[in-house]
Amino acid sequence: MPRKKDKSVIFDDDNPEWTKEDFARATKFPPGTKLADAVAIIMRQRGRPKLDKPKEAIKLRLDADVLEAYRKTGDGWQTRINADLRKARKLKAG
């Protein structure tokens, strides 16, 4: 048998009901501002813009000595592998 929904009012101390004074102190949108525009600004993605052709994560098996040689070159060794593969295939820098 389904339970009946509790229709009692729940009071939330973190978000109390607004009083007339609260509404009087509230900041209004500047004239001509649409709610949809304001929401779009708030919700837009943050951070770096998306690339047209992002790099793909793949699993690649390399000979141990090749991998060791690249790792010894320090940080950015994966980028150097990518650059060397581009040179070998005569591709333009991406």
Q: Within a domain: residue 5?
A: no
* Structure confidence by residue, pLDDT tens digits, 41-91: 888 878 888 899 999 999 999 999 999 999 999 999 999 999 999 999 999
Helices (H), 1-94: 20-25, 35-43, 64-72, 77-88
Q: Within a domain: residue 15?
A: no
71, 77 Cβ separation under 8 angstroms: yes
Indicate the pLDDT class of residue 20, thresholds 50, 70 and 90.
very high
Whether 9 shows a pLDDT value over 80: the answer reads no
Q: Within a domain: residue 34?
A: yes
* Structural domain containing residue 37: 20-46+54-88
d(C-alpha 55, C-alpha 87), whole Å: 17
Q: Within a domain: residue 4?
A: no
The number of distinct structural domains making up the chain is 1
pTM strictly above 0.85: no
